[in-house]
C-alpha cells in the first residue's frame, strides 16, 4: 500500500438526474501531499469526494484509494479515510462526546482517546453540550475532530474552514500541516484560492464537472492575474497600452482597466510616462483564474 | 452490524418507551371498559358496515371485543403504519437529515447498515405489541371477577407472536421504500397508502363476496386475532408473513446497495448517462 497513490481516478463520470455530475475526472494524489481541489460552488468537488467514498456510484471510470477499488472494496478503503463533509449534519440529540464515542464505536474502537481530547482542546470545543445547541462553527469543529481523531492515512476535507473564525481556520491549517508531517495525505476542497495557496502542494481546478488543470501551487500563482484600474493624466487609445501580457478590459477617456499576466514592471514604467493620477488593484478571484483557462475557448459543456 | 443496531436502539429509547406505554395504556383501557360494554353489546344487531372493524357479532365476548377494538384495528392499522413510517425513516429519514452521509462514509458495509437497521426495526415494532400484551394481561387480572370466561395466557402470547410478522412485513416495506424512493416523505406516504389499501382489501373482502378473492393479496388477511384467541392456530399464516418480510428485506438490501446516497433521485434517474446538454 505504501507504493500506491492515495487517490487515483480515471475517467470518473457521475450523472444523476438532470443535475450536473462530473465528467472524465482524472486525479492522481500522491501519498503524503496536500492536494487542493478547487472550484466554485457546484463545480463537482463534493460529488467527486462522495464518489470516492462510494456514497455515489459512477456511471463510468474507476476510483481507488491506496489501490483499493472505491466500490468493490469501499468499506476497506474507507478504513484509511477520515472525512469531513461540506454539508455537515449530525445527530442533534447527542452530545458532542456521545457523537465522538459513536463514531469511535462504528469505526471499531481503534481510536486514541487522548488524541481526541487533545484535538477538542486545541479547537476549544466543549463536547459536553448537545449538538443541537452547537453553533455552526462548533458543529464544524466537531466534524473536524471526528475526521482527524482516527489519525487516518487520508484526510478528505470538504471546505473544512468554511464557517470558522480566522483564528480557528489557522489552527485547522496547522492541523493539516501536522497530519502531513505525520505521514498522512490530505485531499482538501475549497473555493478560497488563498487557502489553497497557503496549504497545498498541488491543486486541481474543477469547473462544471470537469478537471481543467492540475498544477503545482507555484505554477498556479505564477499564472495568477493582476487586474488594475488606472486613472491617467490624459486620455489614451487601447493601441497605446496593449502589449504582450496586457489585455485592456475597458477604456473610457483617461480611465483604463487592464488585466496583466506578465510584464507588470514594464507596463507600470510605460504608464508612469503617461502620468498616473490614481491606481487600484482588484483582488484575484478564483473565477478570474478559471477564466484565464477559458479565455479564447468555449467552456466545455457537461 | 451490531454497532448500527445498538445505535438505532439507543437513539430510539424514548420512542420505544412511549410506544410501550401507549400500547399498555390502550390495552388496559380497552380491557377495563369491557365489563360495562359486554351486557350492552350482547345480542346487539350491528349494521354490516361495522364489520369493517372486525367480527362485531362476537363483541360481547372478551375475545371478540379485543379482536374488534384492539387487535383487529390497532395492529393492522396503527402498528403497521407505525412500522411503515419508522421503516422509511431509518434509511430515507437519515438520508434526508444528512446523517446517512456520515454513517455511510465510515468503514461499514452497506448491507450491514441495512441489516443492523432491520434488526432494530424488528425490535421496535415489537415494543407496542408487547405493551398491548402486558396491558391486556394486567387488565384481565383487574376485571377477572367480572368475566364469565377468560383468555389463556398462552393464547395472548401467541397472539403477540402472530401479530409481530404482520407489523414486521410493513416495517420492512417502509425500509425498502426508504431505500428505493427519493425521500422519506414519499416513502412514508406511499407505504402508508399501501397499508390502508391492504386493510380495506381485507375488511371489504370479508363483507363483499365479489371482493373476497382479493383478500388473499392483503397481508392483513394472514393475521386473524379472533382465531388465535380462540386457539385456532394456523402457523402457515405468520410463516407466510415472515417470508414476505424476508423478501422485502432483500429488496431493501438490493435497493440500498445501488442507491446514490445524498442524491434523492428517482429510480429511473439513477446512473443515467449524460446527455449532450
Report pLDDT digits (tens) over B243-271. Answer: 999 999 999 999 999 888 888 888 777 65
pLDDT band at B274 (very low <50, low <70, confident <90, very high): very low
Counts for chain A of helices (H) and strands (E), in that order:
11, 14
Cell numbers that stand for B12 in this block: 430510539
Min mean pLDDT across A97-106, A188-197, B100-109 is at A188-197
Q: Give A158's contacts in chain B (Cβ within 8 Å).
A: none
Q: Give B272's contacts in chain A (Cβ within 8 Å).
A: 15-17, 59
Distance CA A55, CA B102 (A): 10
Q: Among residues of chain B, what percentage have pLDDT more than 90?
A: 49
Residues A55-75 have a mean pLDDT of 92
| pLDDT value, residue A300 | 41
**Closest alpha carbon within chain A to B12:** A93
Query: Reduced to 3 DSSP states, what percent helix, strand and coil does chain B have, rounded to the nearest 5?
Result: 80, 0, 20
Residues 6+ apart with CB under 8 A from A40: A191, A207, A286, A287, A290
Cα A174 to the chain's mean position, in Å? 16
| pLDDT value, residue A292 | 66
Cβ of A55 within 8 Å of Cβ of B97? The answer is: no
Distance CA A225, CA A95 (A): 47
Nearest to A172 by CA among A193, A147, A144: A144
Q: Which DSSP string corresponds to A210-244? A: EEEEEEEHHHHHHT--EEEEEEESS---HHHH-BT
Cell numbers that stand for B149 in this block: 370466561
Counts for chain B of helices (H) and strands (E), in that order:
11, 0
Note whether B184 and B93 are within 8 A (CB). Answer: yes
Distance CA B224, CA B160 (A): 11
Cβ of B261 within 8 Å of Cβ of A55? The answer is: yes
Residues A67-93 have a mean pLDDT of 92
Residues B179-186 have a mean pLDDT of 93
Count of CB pairs separated by less than 8 Å, A with B: 95
Q: Give A23's contacts in chain B (Cβ within 8 Å).
A: 274
Residues 6+ apart with CB under 8 A from A257: A227, A228, A229, A230, A248, A249, A250, A251
Q: Which is more confident, B56 or A212?
A: A212
Min mean pLDDT across A74-83, A141-150, B50-59, B113-122 is at B50-59
Min mean pLDDT across A156-160, B146-150, B206-210, B272-276 is at B272-276
Interface probe with A: pick from B117, B274, B275, B276, most Cβ of A within 10 Å = B274
Cβ of B265 within 8 Å of Cβ of A56? The answer is: no
Secondary structure (H, E, C), B93-142:
HHHHHCHHHHHHCCCCCHHHHHHHHHHHHHHHHHHHHHHHHHHHHHHHHH
Q: Exposure of A288 by Cβ count < 10 A (0-12 exposed, 13-18 middle, 19+ buried)?
A: middle
| pLDDT value, residue B47 | 66
Q: Has residue A71 got a pLDDT over 80?
A: yes
| pLDDT value, residue B151 | 83
Q: Which long-range contacts (CB under 8 A, 24 or more apart) does B273-277 make?
A: B273/A15, B273/A59, B274/A13, B274/A15, B274/A21, B274/A23, B274/A59, B274/A302, B276/A301, B277/A301, B277/A302
Q: Which long-range contacts (CB under 8 A, 24 or more apart) does B145-152 make?
A: B146/B35, B147/B35, B147/B62, B149/B61, B149/B62, B150/B62, B151/B62, B151/B63, B151/B66, B151/B229, B152/B231
Dump strand ranges (E) for chain B: none
Cell numbers that stand for A300 in this block: 466545455
Cell numbers that stand for A226 in this block: 493582476
Min mean pLDDT across A47-56, A125-134, A185-194, B176-185 is at A185-194
Alpha helices (H) in B144-183, listed in sequence order: 153-180
Min mean pLDDT across A50-54, A201-205, B71-75 is at B71-75
Distance CA B116, CA B125 (A): 15
Cβ of B99 within 8 Å of Cβ of A89? The answer is: yes
Report the DSSP beta bridge partners of residue A69.
A64
Report pLDDT digits (tens) over A13-37. Answer: 988 666 668 999 999 999 999 999 9
Q: How far is CA A1 from each of CA A7, A76, A176, rounded to the nearest angstrom? A: 12, 12, 22
Report pLDDT digits (tens) over B187-204. Answer: 999 999 999 999 988 888
Chain B: residues touching A (Cβ < 8 Å): 3-4, 6-7, 11, 97-99, 101-109, 258, 260-263, 265-266, 269-274, 276-277
| pLDDT value, residue B258 | 87
Q: Has residue B95 got a pLDDT over 80?
A: yes
Q: Give B262's contacts in chain A (Cβ within 8 Å).
A: 50, 55-56
Q: Has residue B83 got a pLDDT over 60?
A: yes
Distance CA A244, CA A73 (A): 52
State residue A147 phi and psi, 5-degree precision. -75, -40
Report helix, strand or coil for A189: strand
Report pLDDT digits (tens) over A158-181. Answer: 999 988 898 999 999 999 999 999
Distance CA B2, CA A106 (A): 9
Q: Give A301's contacts in chain B (Cβ within 8 Å).
A: 276-277
Nearest to B89 by CA among B203, B167, B157, B178: B178
Instruction: Select from B106, B108, B273 the Cβ nearest to the Cβ of A59.
Output: B273
Nearest to A150 by CA among A50, A199, A83, A86: A83
Chain A: residues touching B (Cβ < 8 Å): 13, 15-19, 21, 23, 50, 53-57, 59, 74-76, 78-79, 81, 83, 85, 87-91, 93, 102-103, 105-108, 146, 301-302
**Closest alpha carbon within chain A to B275:** A302
Mean pLDDT, chain A, rounded, equals 86
Residues A108-117 have a mean pLDDT of 87
Report pLDDT digits (tens) over B55-78. Answer: 666 777 888 888 888 888 888 888
Q: Has residue A293 got a pLDDT over 70?
A: no
Nearest to B136 by CA among B62, B37, B28: B28
pTM for the model = 0.82
Cβ of A90 within 8 Å of Cβ of B271? The answer is: no
Report pLDDT digits (tens) over A222-281. Answer: 666 678 888 988 888 888 788 778 888 888 888 998 888 778 888 888 888 888 889 888
Q: Has residue B138 got a pLDDT over 50?
A: yes
Amino acid at each position: 500500500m505504501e507504493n500506491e497513490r492515495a487517490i487515483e481516478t480515471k475517467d470518473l463520470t457521475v450523472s444523476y438526474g438532470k443535475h450536473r455530475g462530473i465528467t472524465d475526472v482524472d486525479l492522481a494524489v500522491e501519498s503524503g501531499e496536500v492536494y487542493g481541489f478547487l472550484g466554485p460552488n457546484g463545480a463537482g468537488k463534493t460529488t467527486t469526494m462522495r464518489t470516492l467514498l462510494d456514497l455515489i456510484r459512477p456511471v463510468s471510470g474507476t476510483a481507488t484509494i491506496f489501490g483499493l477499488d472505491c466500490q468493490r472494496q469501499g468499506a476497506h478503503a474507507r478504513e484509511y479515510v477520515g472525512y469531513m463533509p461540506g454539508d455537515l449534519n449530525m445527530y442533534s440529540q447527542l452530545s458532542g462526546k456521545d457523537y465522538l464515542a459513536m463514531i469511535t464505536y462504528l469505526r471499531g474502537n481503534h481510536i486514541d482517546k487522548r488524541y481526541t481530547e487533545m484535538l477538542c482542546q486545541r479547537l476549544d470545543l466543549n463536547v459536553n453540550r448537545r449538538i443541537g445547541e452547537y453553533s455552526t462553527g462548533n458543529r464544524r469543529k466537531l466534524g473536524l475532530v471526528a475526521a482527524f481523531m482516527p489519525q487516518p492515512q487520508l484526510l478528505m476535507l470538504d471546505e473544512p474552514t468554511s464557517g470558522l473564525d480566522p483564528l480557528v481556520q489557522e489552527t485547522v491549517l496547522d492541523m493539516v500541516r501536522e497530519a502531513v508531517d505525520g505521514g498522512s495525505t490530505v485531499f482538501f476542497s475549497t473555493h478560497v484560492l488563498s487557502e489553497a495557496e497557503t496549504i497545498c502542494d498541488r491543486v486541481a481546478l474543477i469547473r462544471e464537472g470537469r478537471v481543467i488543470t492540475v498544477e503545482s501551487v507555484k505554477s498556479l500563482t505564477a499564472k495568477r492575474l493582476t487586474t488594475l484600474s488606472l486613472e491617467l493624466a490624459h486620455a489614451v487609445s487601447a493601441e497605446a497600452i496593449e502589449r504582450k501580457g496586457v489585455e485592456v478590459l475597458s477604456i473610457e477617456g483617461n480611465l483604463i482597466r487592464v488585466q496583466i499576466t506578465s510584464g507588470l514592471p514594464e507596463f507600470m514604467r510605460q504608464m508612469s510616462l503617461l502620468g498616473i493620477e490614481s491606481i487600484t488593484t482588484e483582488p484575484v478571484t478564483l473565477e478570474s483564474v478559471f477564466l484565464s483557462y477559458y479565455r479564447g475557448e468555449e467552456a466545455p459543456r457537461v | 452490524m451490531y454497532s448500527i443496531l445498538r445505535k438505532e436502539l439507543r437513539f430510539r429509547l424514548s420512542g420505544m418507551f412511549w410506544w410501550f406505554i401507549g400500547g399498555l395504556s390502550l390495552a388496559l383501557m380497552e380491557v377495563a371498559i369491557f365489563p360495562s360494554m359486554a351486557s350492552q353489546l350482547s345480542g346487539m344487531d350491528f349494521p354490516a358496515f361495522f364489520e369493517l372493524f372486525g367480527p362485531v357479532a362476537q363483541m360481547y365476548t372478551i375475545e371478540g371485543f379485543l379482536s374488534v377494538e384492539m387487535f383487529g384495528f390497532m395492529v393492522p392499522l396503527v402498528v403497521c403504519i407505525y412500522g411503515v413510517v419508522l421503516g422509511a425513516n431509518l434509511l430515507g429519514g437519515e438520508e434526508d437529515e444528512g446523517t446517512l452521509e456520515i454513517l455511510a462514509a465510515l468503514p461499514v458495509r452497506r448491507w450491514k447498515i441495512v441489516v443492523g437497521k432491520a434488526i432494530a426495526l424488528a425490535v421496535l415494532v415489537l415494543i407496542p405489541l408487547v405493551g398491548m400484551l402486558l396491558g391486556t394481561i394486567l387488565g384481565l387480572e383487574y376485571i377477572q371477577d367480572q368475566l364469565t370466561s377468560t383468555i389463556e395466557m398462552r393464547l395472548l402470547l401467541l397472539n403477540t407472536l402472530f401479530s409481530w410478522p404482520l407489523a414486521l412485513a410493513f416495517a420492512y416495506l417502509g425500509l425498502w421504500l426508504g431505500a428505493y424512493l427519493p425521500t422519506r416523505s414519499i416513502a412514508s406516504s406511499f407505504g402508508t397508502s399501501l397499508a390502508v389499501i391492504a386493510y380495506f382489501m381485507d375488511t371489504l373482502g370479508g363483507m363483499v363476496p365479489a371482493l373476497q378473492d382479493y383478500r388473499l393479496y392483503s397481508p392483513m388477511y394472514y393475521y386473524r386475532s379472533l382465531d388465535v384467541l380462540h386457539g385456532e392456530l394456523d402457523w402457515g399464516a405468520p410463516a407466510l408473513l415472515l417470508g414476505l418480510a424476508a423478501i422485502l428485506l432483500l429488496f431493501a438490501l438490493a435497493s440500498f446497495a445501488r442507491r446514490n446516497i445524498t442524491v434523492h433521485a428517482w429510480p429511473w434517474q439513477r446512473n443515467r448517462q449524460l446527455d449532450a446538454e
